[in-house]
Chains A and B, each alone.
Chain A
């Protein structure tokens, strides 16, 4: 019998040089994470589905590979490190010394509709900082992310910053019965629809920030000013990186239940959020943010910030 060399959709084997390249890049990242005081955690490739049930949105549920184990338990393949780590740490937090600096590496497996360039298995290297509140943690994590991504990527790194819930006040105050749909239109920058429902959001669609920051409501306005300060500081420290603030990019990262998280967006971010793109073709290479509410939903109160880098995507930008 002849055996076909074809693999299932969305997975790939790395042979020879491509394997060597990925391992070499991984080792560099891991060495740097170690120097920065982050300790490795190794997590299983599958887990019970039940602990995640409450954390799933329709979109993230659709990404899961679920199956029934031989003893009848419902299991899922690892689709995201952050919730897995959170659910393992939440019950143990009381006995751990904070802050905790952790990193992980490994595959995540997500079902995606078949499209060119859309893998179903990705190799991620990521880090989480737990137990350090406020801007200091966000600054540390973003700096580390920028350092790692520029060390391994092919240059022209672009990072877009925002924060969850930034547009909630405007979206919920708009002339529409369906604010979630409006959020999607803002995220896609559909000007016609946004103009009809909420002209004050047009500045956000156009420039990433509102013409008048006070339109965001007092709390979000303060956060936007903090974000400007953080972006200025990081721009000075990483002159080769293009940093921009864009609240429309994260229009679907909301804190309100009426504005459910959209496809692809990790639904647990509740503070800073960022996406990174790299290379001439501007591939999405990673991202992260603050996710205190993930721990809250698991019964633990601890501030948490983290990021993940898609290593294969980042390496593609080097060629």
Chain B
């Protein structure tokens, strides 16, 4: 039995589409509703349903053998995980957003609102301007609208929310994709099965 952690939210769809295309049977999940833990005995898989931010922790500790998680979260929490694949489905961008013309001039100091303070600190360290980083847990777009911060660093998928709120994507700093992550020791234990999955995902053309 291998334990697969799947995220809630937007990366779940990306994961399910990719696994279906690769013929890895997770159809048993359809009837599972809101169950947090679903056994698929025929496939030899147990699926855990976790929040994005908790998922790397479960895999790092080997509670889950592997999982699907966004590279945005992975970069931020920085666990010691294997990252064999990045899925094509559900890609987005990590971008600076703000009002028109909000890009700070060299030598200025701004406030930057984000869910990703570690990533933000690394990025800002390479800039000609400085930022006080304000960690928020959601509705990041509100920060520049209400002037809590001049800039925000957040995920942009279609840009529709931005347009509706008269904000612009000032600069893309990273491409974000859902990644297959694997615990180091689990990789040794389940190498044959994981390599089979990886091969099928690659053959299905759903990975970059």
Contact = CB atoms under 8 A, between A and B. Distances in A.
A191 B181 CA distance: 12
B77 A277 contact: no
Interface residues of B, number: 29
Given A117-B60, A207-B191, A282-B62, A191 B198 contact: yes
A242 to B, nearest CB: 7
B124 interface: no
A116 B53 CA distance: 13
Contact of A115 (B79, B84, B85): B79
Nearest to A244: B188
Given A115-B77, A207-B195, A189 B61 contact: no
Contact of A189 (B82, B189, B208): B82
Interface in A268-312: 275, 277, 280-284
A190 B83 contact: yes
B188 A188 contact: no
A264 B81 CA distance: 13
Interface residues of A, number: 27
Counting chain B CB atoms within 10 Å of each CB, the highest count among A191, A192, A208 belongs to A191
B193 to A, nearest CB: 13
Interface string A237-263: 000001010100100000000000000
Interface in B193-208: 195, 198, 202, 207-208
A281 B65 CA distance: 9
Contact of B84 (A190, A207, A244): A190
B80 A282 contact: no
Contacts of B85: 191-192
B184 A277 contact: yes
Contacts of A244: 188, 191
A164 to B, nearest CB: 18
A190 B191 CA distance: 15
Interface string A191-226: 110000000000001111000000000000000000
Contacts of A281: 61-63
Interface in A165-191: 188-191
Main DSSP-derived SS at the B contact region = mixed
Nearest to B118: A113
Contacts of B79: 115
Interface string B52-90: 000001001111000000000000011111111110000
A158 interface: yes
Contacts of B63: 281
B11 interface: no
Counting chain B CB atoms within 10 Å of each CB, the highest count among A116, A275, A280 belongs to A116
A188 B81 contact: yes
B185 interface: yes
Counting chain A CB atoms within 10 Å of each CB, the highest count among B62, B79, B195, B198 belongs to B62
A160 interface: yes
A286 B18 CA distance: 36
Contacts of B62: 277, 280-283
A160 to B, nearest CB: 6
A158 B189 contact: yes
A115 B118 CA distance: 13
B95 interface: no
14 contacts: A113-B78, A117-B61, A188-B81, A189-B82, A189-B84, A191-B85, A191-B202, A192-B85, A192-B207, A206-B198, A207-B195, A208-B191, A244-B191, A284-B184
Closest 10 CB pairs of A and B: A282-B185, A277-B185, A281-B62, A282-B62, A189-B82, A189-B84, A188-B83, A244-B188, A190-B83, A191-B84
Given A189-B83, A206-B195, A207-B195, 8 more contacts: A115-B78, A115-B79, A116-B61, A117-B57, A189-B182, A191-B84, A192-B207, A277-B188
